[in-house]
Structure 1
């Protein structure tokens, strides 16, 4: 298994970038998948991942802050299933984290700065017989139920897939990410925590980010804070 993964990674290194990468482009709410970049902030680096964990691009991708005003906000309720869909399925081995940040007003005017983000969902790696098993790398969308205790208001919904196929050196992990904009019209009275800043949540040296996935595995530590479930 490890050898086959290595061969796949080498082969993909020679695939043209327009074919090799994937983007989160559409909001998912219940059974609805919206058109691309209506409720998801459009990035300007096409399908190139972010690799600098200290950059503000880690927040909503390159161009994601500038496109905020042109992005609509979709109304949902706490407890509803939401997420983001991709333009093609994920195939790089890696893990997924989903964060929310409550806007002080309109989501379209919110830059997501400060310690305002909290994790609400994750897909982690498992270990068996010394090898990693990754979340299904044919996923075409990442969805999860919003916590029922989530307070009403407008939020940035940030999904990241951390691709780890070349993460054995610092800066090698690839972050594929986007931010959607949602309005939680019917919410609860919970207090989301812990709150983190993006950038700031990662140093890039976490054992779940700086990692040789082709070596013998004994465990995997998901990067970032604990999931808030409400």
Structure 2
């Protein structure tokens, strides 16, 4: 079986120049970043990592030498969610409701709580907010959406985002669950609103 052709001197030099250019682009992105998870920095980081890997490979193949740099590939510091090749996703849902009938809402909460009309202090229906707590504590959001009128609610606009995410350990993001709603990580989204002719419209995140 013939030996695999070794990289030429020109190929090694081109790979080295690609690393230099990637370093310049990464520095420029860092200097111009707009926040902690700036997508420009993320893209420049990934490009620099690929260029460094490529150079290390051709350098070893041509000269049996390696660089002193190690590019981390595992999830951790320096890893960024990539919407083109995600390791994990987050599904973010927002549904708006108008409280059209507070009495009906509180009556639904009474049924959940098991309280009676003579109960002197029915906790679940003591206020609209308490009734909402009882309602969303008992039913899944999809069921509430399907029975909104029955619960005294009127559906408004809604949206569902599927975004790229870094794999997370249980409990990691619960303290700030909506901080990662980054449009740059959007894979697809589904909007429902009366302003659209169709009930469901899929929007391309590129537009």
TM-score (normalizing by structure 1):
0.20
Q: Which has the larger radius of gyration?
A: 2
TM-score (normalizing by structure 2):
0.22
